[in-house]
Chain A
């Protein structure tokens, strides 16, 4: 490899030894590592500065405190914020509740998305598939707030949901269950699309082979389909879980008096003007998500993505 390079390089180097562009090109040609480094530097810089950098700022500022009267930030590191979070039971309750909501939303979406995606990818006629995907994507074009407020109207006392369930007061009203319901609705497309993509890659011949070998639909699903789409389901669950964990708007609109982590962060930024404490609270979902991703990695699901 090196021999032909030098034969090509030599005459050019002799001709234009001072040509800086040429020299740089030559150096880059010889050193693959530098080349790769330069190529990746822009996206890496973005990742490090904008992404990890903001996380670092978050962690740092969570160690500061605020003058309770004037609201000025005191830039002296202390663990006071974390002490409050760990000693006050309310923060544990809210964190557990938020994780519960995120898990419930993920499971509900999974249960709805699996049959829907399967019928889209395998049952529906191929010419309808594109339309079905569009139908799933359309709600994503409507504003989040519009959807949440329409649910508020639907869930109101004597509203359509009450009426469906047998009259005023029979529906769930505003509260935790309404929050889970609306979040499940909002994030459903994020679960359906990856599963649909995974199922599309699944060859029909496998299903036929399973049927030829005498397996019924349930057995085929358990032994053939499910193992192959686990990575897609997990990809979907990362979306629904993280989106639900960070949400604070839906719960404000239909959650009644329910508080989630997002509300506490929002209350500390918007109402109490205690940015350091909000930062300390915001590290809770970060830690939970890291734990979730590590757990997912352990299952090996990420390797196949």
Chain B
């Protein structure tokens, strides 16, 4: 419980400082000069549907049965509410933030490294949880967390969580790896066939590895890196670059690379592992001993939503026991709705699905560092140093790729 609580507390401190609402112990200037989220009213009551809803989602979150007829939580919703769902798949959190800024979308499945940026950018509105009947069944461990709320105001509906995994080709990579070391080893026997996630947030994966293997750096939180720690992570990634075959952000390309053998080891999502295994690719994916980065996703509603009623109905649908179970099984993550477990067990054929994915297992998620937005105010609570913010991470990521 300790790391998670530390993270939560640290992030809460960061947010407190960010909102400059004083009271707390911190008096260092907040990034952007003491920002408060723009005042945006939440929807007071639900009206009739507008006929359609435009959503941005991670691949596999909005399935209408075309990939597999057992996985369809769109068709029924469209028939019931008359809201046609137009889905746009985004590959990275940055893409989601950019798309949301366009104002053309009503709802988004944002991870922790996007949600705060959206809240403080005024791109999303607070959510009136009374209008989402299924909200009451969501695990309490996911409600009103630092990445989906500000000052006790909910900005979204928790959707599910999971970890970034280490995947390898079982016919090439022997012995089976148990540590992220296999992707960071400078003398890797798999030179030119290693892959990594193509986003600045991947720097946190290197930081997490250093956290366990270079204790002298004293990294407490992979999203709170001061100049020295940050440089160590960047150096590690520059070493890794020599072994990288390609960086992936497009999940279909990653699946194809693992299938053809252009890539034999690297970071992945359970969803990609499922795709490759369904295609008879010899791969296996695990949560390595160091733990991993991961996500805890939140459905948020745009402050400029043109179809707010349909968006609320969609948010209620996506966390309903059936749809939430469908997403959890299809994407390979832990559901957020406690009533989703029986349905997920039925869909997956795993009677203990919620156990397998550690749905309410906080000890397991202690090893998972949810994606978070790095800010100059260190998220681990240190006040004597400044941390590298996301802009610095972005610049560094370009340098790492060279």
Q: Residues of A at under 8 Å CB distance from B?
A: 66-72, 84, 88, 90, 93-94, 152, 156-159, 168, 173-174, 253, 255-257, 259, 264, 267, 269-274
Decide if B246 touches A174 in the complex (CB within 8 Å): yes
Of all chain B residues, which has the CB nearest A255?
Answer: B246
Chain B neighbourhood of A90, CB < 8 A = 398-399, 402
Question: B284 on the interface (CB 8 Å rule)?
Answer: no
Chain A neighbourhood of B391, CB < 8 A = 66, 68, 272, 274
A196 to B381: give the CA distance in the assembly, Å: 69
Chain A neighbourhood of B402, CB < 8 A = 90, 93-94, 259
- A–B Cβ pairs within 8 angstroms, 13 of them: A69-B120, A69-B389, A72-B121, A88-B395, A156-B260, A253-B253, A257-B246, A257-B247, A259-B398, A269-B98, A271-B199, A273-B98, A274-B391
Chain B neighbourhood of A270, CB < 8 A = 94-95, 98
Question: B35 on the interface (CB 8 Å rule)?
Answer: yes
Of all chain A residues, which has the CB nearest B246?
Answer: A256
Question: B274 on the interface (CB 8 Å rule)?
Answer: no
B27-48 near A? 1/0 per residue, CB < 8 Å: 0000110010000000000000
CB distance from A150 to the nearest CB of B (A): 13
A222 to B299: give the CA distance in the assembly, Å: 68
A109 to B231: give the CA distance in the assembly, Å: 43
Of all chain B residues, which has the CB nearest A272?
Answer: B394
CB distance from B282 to the nearest CB of A (A): 14
Chain B neighbourhood of A156, CB < 8 A = 256-257, 260, 262
Given contacts A88-B395, A271-B92, A271-B199, 14 further A-B contacts (CB under 8 A): A68-B392, A70-B32, A71-B97, A152-B256, A159-B260, A174-B262, A257-B244, A267-B398, A270-B95, A271-B94, A271-B394, A272-B94, A272-B391, A272-B394
User: Which of the listed residues B35, B260, B392 has the most CB atoms from chain A within 10 Å of its own CB?
Assistant: B260
Chain A neighbourhood of B401, CB < 8 A = 257, 259
Decide if B31 touches A69 in the complex (CB within 8 Å): yes
Chain B neighbourhood of A255, CB < 8 A = 246
Given contacts A68-B31, A84-B395, A271-B94, whether A174 and B245 have CB atoms under 8 Å apart is yes
A224 to B260: give the CA distance in the assembly, Å: 50
Q: Which of B214-273 contact A (CB under 8 A)?
A: 241, 244-247, 253, 256-257, 260-262
CB distance from A258 to the nearest CB of B (A): 9
Of all chain A residues, which has the CB nearest B98?
Answer: A273
B378-402 near A? 1/0 per residue, CB < 8 Å: 0000000000011110110011011
Decide if B121 touches A271 in the complex (CB within 8 Å): no
Of all chain B residues, which has the CB nearest A252?
Answer: B250
Given contacts A157-B261, A157-B262, whether A70 and B244 have CB atoms under 8 Å apart is no
A159 to B261: give the CA distance in the assembly, Å: 10
Chain A neighbourhood of B395, CB < 8 A = 84, 88
Question: B373 on the interface (CB 8 Å rule)?
Answer: yes
Chain B neighbourhood of A93, CB < 8 A = 402
B91-105 near A? 1/0 per residue, CB < 8 Å: 010110110010000
Chain A neighbourhood of B304, CB < 8 A = none
Decide if B97 touches A264 in the complex (CB within 8 Å): no
Question: B177 on the interface (CB 8 Å rule)?
Answer: no
Of all chain B residues, which has the CB nearest A254?
Answer: B246
Question: B301 on the interface (CB 8 Å rule)?
Answer: no
Decide if A173 touches B399 in the complex (CB within 8 Å): no
A53 to B367: give the CA distance in the assembly, Å: 53
Decide if A69 touches B117 in the complex (CB within 8 Å): yes
Question: B192 on the interface (CB 8 Å rule)?
Answer: yes
Question: B375 on the interface (CB 8 Å rule)?
Answer: yes
A71 to B257: give the CA distance in the assembly, Å: 33
Of A71, A168, A272, the residue contacting B261 (CB under 8 A) is A168
Given contacts A69-B389, A173-B262, A267-B398, whether A257 and B98 have CB atoms under 8 Å apart is no
A271 to B98: give the CA distance in the assembly, Å: 7
Decide if A68 touches B389 in the complex (CB within 8 Å): yes
Of all chain B residues, which has the CB nearest A97?
Answer: B402
B165-188 near A? 1/0 per residue, CB < 8 Å: 000000000000000000000000
Of B95, B101, B256, B398, the residue contacting A71 (CB under 8 A) is B101
Of all chain B residues, which has the CB nearest A275?
Answer: B98
A94 to B261: give the CA distance in the assembly, Å: 28
A267 to B75: give the CA distance in the assembly, Å: 35
Given contacts A157-B262, A174-B262, A273-B98, whether A70 and B92 have CB atoms under 8 Å apart is no
CB distance from A53 to the nearest CB of B (A): 22
A55 to B62: give the CA distance in the assembly, Å: 39
Decide if A69 touches B245 in the complex (CB within 8 Å): no
Of all chain B residues, which has the CB nearest A89?
Answer: B399
CB distance from A152 to the nearest CB of B (A): 8
Of B95, B241, B260, B262, the residue contacting A271 (CB under 8 A) is B95
A259 to B262: give the CA distance in the assembly, Å: 18
Of all chain B residues, which has the CB nearest A93?
Answer: B402
CB distance from B121 to the nearest CB of A (A): 4
Of A67, A94, A158, A253, the residue contacting B260 (CB under 8 A) is A158
Chain A neighbourhood of B247, CB < 8 A = 257
Decide if A274 touches B121 in the complex (CB within 8 Å): no
Instruction: Give 9 closest A-B pairs by Cβ, nearest first.
Output: A68-B391, A271-B94, A156-B260, A70-B121, A157-B261, A256-B246, A272-B394, A90-B399, A273-B98
CB distance from A52 to the nearest CB of B (A): 27
Chain B neighbourhood of A67, CB < 8 A = 32
Given contacts A67-B32, A68-B389, A69-B31, whether A157 and B260 have CB atoms under 8 Å apart is yes
Decide if A70 touches B398 in the complex (CB within 8 Å): no
Q: Which of B75-125 contact A (CB under 8 A)?
A: 92, 94-95, 97-98, 101, 117, 120-122
A156 to B261: give the CA distance in the assembly, Å: 8
A33 to B262: give the CA distance in the assembly, Å: 65
Of all chain A residues, which has the CB nearest B99?
Answer: A270
CB distance from A215 to the nearest CB of B (A): 50
Decide if B199 touches A69 in the complex (CB within 8 Å): no
Chain B neighbourhood of A274, CB < 8 A = 391, 394
Decide if B94 touches A273 in the complex (CB within 8 Å): yes
A93 to B35: give the CA distance in the assembly, Å: 38
Of A152, A253, A257, the residue contacting B241 (CB under 8 A) is A257
